[in-house]
Amino acid sequence: MARGEDLARSVEDVLVLLRSKGGRVTTARRQLLSALFDAPSHVTADDLAAAVQARAPDVHISTIYRNLDELERLGVVVHTHLGHGPATYHLSSASHGHLVCESCGATIEAPPAVFEQLAKEAIERFGFRIDPRHFAVLGRCADCASAGSAGRR
């Protein structure tokens, strides 16, 4: 059960983990990790590519995807589908649920406690173990809700 998330405290930690699984340490990987550690949460693969390319221009977006995949397999990052649009990625240590406003796109990071009761209900009723990191709860933020029911979508 010991997983990447426990060990991934720094870029170097992850590189060690990677090497221990027979992986190689490359510039692309080092830069991607560095971008992930620096990034605000909710970065898209594209954002990450831009950050990486600022320092290593030749790194291709497909390499970003491949490595994000790899890092996810190691448990170092998770990705989330925020409603429409591209998936967003972040370190699994920065785990949290998301509340995304359908009107204005604002994203609120919700502490796990908010999902606790839901998690409990899901287990009790269906034996279903939710993973609150992996999806977004859509709705209306305070501002948009009070702006009236005007403007659906």
Partner DNA sequence: GTGCTTGCAAACGTTTTGCAGACTC
Partner DNA sequence: GAGTCTGCAAAACGTTTGCAAGCAC
Binder to DNA among 62, 111, 112, 139 (CB under 7 A)? 62
Residues 93-122 that bind its own copies (CB under 8 A): 99, 101-102, 108, 110, 113-115, 117-118, 121-122
Cβ-based nearer residue to its own copies, 56 or 108? 108
Beta strands 88-91 and 77-80 are antiparallel
CB 35 within 8 A of CB 52: yes
36 binds DNA (CB under 7 A): no
- Stretches 5-13, 39-47, 53-61, 130-138: which one binds its own copies (CB under 8 A)? 130-138
126 binds its own copies (CB under 8 A): yes
98 torsion bin: left (phi>0), alpha (psi -120 to 50), beta (else): beta
If you ran DSSP here, which 8-state letter would residue 119 be given? H
Choosing among its own copies, DNA, none, which partner's interface includes residue 115 (Cβ < 5 to 8 Å by kind)? its own copies
151 binds its own copies (CB under 8 A): no
**C-alpha torsion angle, residues 74, 77, 82, 86 (rounded to 10):** -80
CB 97 within 8 A of CB 132: yes
87 binds DNA (CB under 7 A): yes
- Computed on alpha carbons and rounded to an integer, the radius of gyration of the chain in Å comes to 18
Rounded Cα distance between 116 and 106, Å, is: 23
Q: Footprint of its own copies on this chain (CB under 8 A)?
A: 1, 72-73, 75, 81, 83-84, 99, 101-102, 108, 110, 113-115, 117-118, 121-122, 125-132, 134-142, 145-146, 149, 152-153
